[in-house]
Amino acid sequence: MQGNIACAEGALAAGCSFFGGYPITPSTEVAEHMARILPKKGGTFIQMEDELASISSIIGASWAGARSMTATSGPGFSLMMENIGYAVMTETPIVIVNIQRGGPSTGQPTMGAQGDMMQCRFGSHGDYSTIALVPSTVQEMFDLTAKAFNLADRFRCPVFLMSDEIIGHMREKVTIPEEVDIIRRRPLKEGKLPFEPEDDMIPGFPEFGKGYRVHVTGLTHDERGYPEATNCELHSELVTRLVNKIESKRHEIADYDIINPQAEIVFITYGPPGRAVRQLMHDYSDLEIGHLNLRIVWPFPEKVLKEFPNASKFIVPELNMGQMAREIQRHTSIEVESLPKIGGEMHTPDELFRAMGGDS
């Protein structure tokens, strides 16, 4: 099964019933598959006029109670930025799939990249936090897409599946479970105001059509949902909560694999470069190489860096010019070496070997 199809299947298994999108290489197969399957399952597929409308449509669908998703790539992702902030401010659970290609601008439509890792974290204006998952196999495309919906519903925020052309267009064997865990958003409790947080800082969800009359706005709002845009204290409280409801749980959200934690040289990866590291470890099984592979990169679980007590160097191969390497650097006193690669091709195991100081 192709990666993009596995992504769509993961969404369907998770109960996604609304897809709004605009086709763009290399993500189009996600939309194609959703268009083929969703109507048969009683769901809705809509091709919007552009990516601004696409993300607006999934925000609306989410307020009507649907698990909703869109899929895009670089240029479309840029167009979605404004309403990603709107989803953050209105605490709307949505899943945004970005099958990354080479940028800036229209760049390399048919080549893989990981150049949007900072954009998914900081791309919309203002302070906020997000959750981003990165698969490195076609199986993980399925698993992590399904998981993204649970995270979106739990934290009431946009969740990003930050894949790339390499995994999106690759075909591998996928085992589809009989059913996936579905944990839906918590409904608003009787007597609570629509934006009144519970103990975990997250308000219950007042679904449209269930008897609630809710005002939903991107303006700074009180717990009723009414604009209070000049109240300094309220704004500070609201935005701090939007950040902390996610950041305070970052070690619980974390999802990663650790191999050889006693090693001195440690590779840190997310997505395709992890597979080059695994191959390197396989080809040079006598070398002590540590590996941390992240499946969730945002929020960044910095405590995991402490799992390598002997580390003298972290090497970070990425399909960009060193985006997460900088994030890692700010959390550790250990040397961090960025190993950037752009142009559309993966690092080869030999390139990683040379980065370790090896002579191949």
Q: Which residues bind another protein (CB under 8 A)?
A: 26, 110-111, 165-166, 169-173, 272, 275-276, 278-279, 282, 345-346, 348-349
**Comparison of 62 and 100: residue with beta carbon closer to another protein:** 100
**What's the closest the beta carbon of residue 343 comes to another protein, in angstroms?**
13
> What is each CA distance from 274 to 151, 169, 316, in whole angstroms?
23, 17, 10
Instruction: Using the minimum distance from each CB to another protein, give the nearer residue, 14 or 111.
Output: 111
Length of the chain counted residue by residue: 360
Q: How far is the CB of 85 from another protein (least distance, A)?
A: 32
Q: Judged by CB, which is closer to another protein: 170, or 216?
A: 170
Closest CA to 148 of 240, 71, 64: 71
Q: How far is the CB of 75 from another protein (least distance, A)?
A: 16
Nearer to another protein, 85 or 109 (CB): 109
Residue number with CB closer to another protein (30 or 61): 30
* Shortest distance in whole angstroms from residue 259 CB to another protein: 12
* DSSP states of 121-155: HH-SSSS---EEE--SSHHHHHHHHHHHHHHHHHH
Taking CA atoms, 233 is separated from 17, 86, 228, 238, 240, in Å, by 38, 20, 10, 9, 11
CA-CA-CA-CA torsion for 145, 317, 75, 105, nearest 10 degrees? 180
CB 140 within 8 Å of CB 78? no
Integer Cα distance of 283 and 79 in angstroms:
43
Least Cβ distance, residue 271 to another protein (angstroms):
12
Residue matched to tokens 């894949």? 163
Q: Which residue number, 111 or 265, has a Cβ lying nearer to another protein? A: 111
Least separation in angstroms between residue 26's CB and another protein is 7
DSSP assignment letter at 317: E
Kindly tell me which of 153 and 164 has the beta carbon lying closer to another protein. Answer: 164
Backbone dihedral region for residue 116 (phi beyond 0: left; psi -120 to 50: alpha; all else: beta)? alpha
CA–CA dist 76, 55 (Å, integer) = 10
Distances in Å between the alpha carbon of 267 and those of 24, 121, 206, 325, 356?
A: 32, 22, 44, 11, 10
CB of 64 to another protein, least distance (A): 36
Report, in Å, the least distance between residue 171 CB and another protein.
4
Cα–Cα distance between 85 and 130 in angstroms, integer? 10
Structure tokens at 265: 């040289």
Q: Which is nearer to another protein, 44 or 279 (CB)?
A: 279
Q: CB nearer to another protein: give 169 or 184.
A: 169
Cα distance between the two ends of the chain: 35
Min dist. Cβ of residue 293 to another protein (A): 12
